[in-house]
Structures are given as structure tokens and as C-alpha cells.
């Protein structure tokens, strides 16, 4: 029942409302200025509170979302803003929900940071940092490869030292590889010759 003159009817939509927040320049906790775009989703769960307790619940919710956005991002580092965005979104939603659901009858469904625009100087610094990190990983992989190669060569040397036949086979393989070069002169040797040379060196050093 509506009493004429004394009462006035106001229609309130209970559907989810999405509002794009104006771009905001925010200084993060590590003193980096970024420009962020965000969107907020909310709905009215108590029409009476939404009409009587706040003059314009849509505008009030938007202003609260902007304030919360600047506050939360100002307490976050740039790395968290780029890598932990889901956690930041949930934190902002919980703050808005706590302040609007009880007093205004408005429930925050989601507030999401859509885009983060970094200054050009910061983009160049991050690009150099990423390049340095890639070079670091490449050097580490190369060092591991050299370590494995040295270990393999040491094991091969031990095998050849304990088994002279394997040294002869390796020598024959080298001859086959060198035979493909027309300008090479090949002097065949055997293991016995190697042993004789080794014995001569031993006698010479003894005298």
C-alpha cells in the first residue's frame, strides 16, 4: 500500500551491476607509479537499506571501490600486483563487501584489476632484468654441461688406461676420421709403439 503524497515508490534492480572504474594512478609500496584499470561487480540484496541508508548506492559503491583500490595497491609491491593479482582482487572484494553489505544492503561480487600500465623506464628495466635472468640460466646450463663432459672424459681416460685395447680402437677410429681429409698424412702406430715410447721416457727420466 502506498499512501499518496506521504509515500513514494522506488524500484530497485536486484540484478548484478558491473561498473568500469576510471583509470587510477597508484604508487605501490615499493614506490613505483602504475596506472590501473579495474571493474567492480555488485548487487543489491536489501532494497530497503539501499534506498534509505544511502543516497545513491551505485555512486557510493563506486567511490568506495576506488578508495579501496588505491589503498590496497598502495600497500602492495609491484611484483605482487603482477603475480598475485587474484589475491589482491579477493582482498579488495572482502573489504568492500564488509563495508557495504551490512549498512547499505549491497553485496560486492567481484572487483578485478584488468590492466596494469607501467612507465616506459620501468618496462625497460624489467626487460633488462628478464634478459639477465635468461643469460644466467644459460650460463648455469652450460656449466653443468661442461662438468658432465669433464666427468665423462675422466671416466673414459681411466678405462683406456686400464684397457690398452680400447685405446687402440679409439686410435683406429681417429685414423678413419682423418682419412676423409685429402691433405692429411697418416702415420699408423700401435699400442706396442706407445708402450715403447712410454718406457723410453721412463728410462730417460730415471737416468
Give CA–CA dist 54/105, Å, rounded: 10
Instruction: Work out the average pLDDT over 87-94.
Output: 91
For the chain, the structural domain boundaries read: 17-121, 154-207
Most confident of 54-58, 119-123, 169-173: 54-58
d(CA 69, CA 84): 15
pTM of the model: 0.57
Count of C-beta atoms within a 10 Å radius of residue 87 = 11
Cell 598475485 -> residue = 84
Q: Report which of 34, 80, 122 is spatially closest to residue 92, judged by C-alpha positions.
A: 80
Q: State the fold for domain 17-121.
A: Tetrahydropterin Synthase; Chain A (3.30.479)
Amino acid at each position: 500500500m502506498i499512501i499518496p503524497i506521504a509515500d513514494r515508490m522506488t524500484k530497485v534492480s536486484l540484478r548484478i551491476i558491473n561498473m568500469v572504474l576510471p583509470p587510477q594512478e597508484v604508487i605501490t609500496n615499493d614506490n613505483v607509479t602504475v596506472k590501473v584499470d579495474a571493474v567492480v561487480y555488485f548487487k543489491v540484496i536489501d532494497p530497503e537499506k539501499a534506498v534509505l541508508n544511502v543516497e545513491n548506492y551505485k555512486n557510493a559503491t563506486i567511490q568506495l571501490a576506488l578508495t579501496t583500490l588505491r589503498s590496497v595497491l598502495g600497500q602492495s609491491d609491484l611484483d605482487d600486483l603482477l603475480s598475485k593479482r587474484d589475491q589482491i582482487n579477493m582482498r579488495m572484494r572482502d573489504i568492500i563487501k564488509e563495508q557495504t553489505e551490512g549498512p547499505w544492503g549491497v553485496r560486492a561480487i567481484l572487483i578485478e584489476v584488468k590492466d596494469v600500465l607501467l612507465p616506459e623506464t620501468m618496462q625497460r628495466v624489467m626487460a633488462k632484468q628478464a634478459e639477465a635472468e635468461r643469460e644466467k640460466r644459460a650460463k648455469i646450463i652450460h656449466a653443468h654441461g661442461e662438468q658432465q663432459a669433464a666427468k665423462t672424459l675422466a671416466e673414459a681416460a681411466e678405462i683406456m688406461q686400464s684397457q690398452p685395447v680400447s685405446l687402440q680402437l679409439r686410435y683406429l677410429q681417429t685414423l678413419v676420421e682423418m682419412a676423409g681429409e685429402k691433405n692429411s698424412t697418416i702415420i699408423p702406430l700401435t699400442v706396442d709403439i706407445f708402450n715403447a715410447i712410454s718406457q723410453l721416457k721412463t728410462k730417460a727420466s730415471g737416468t
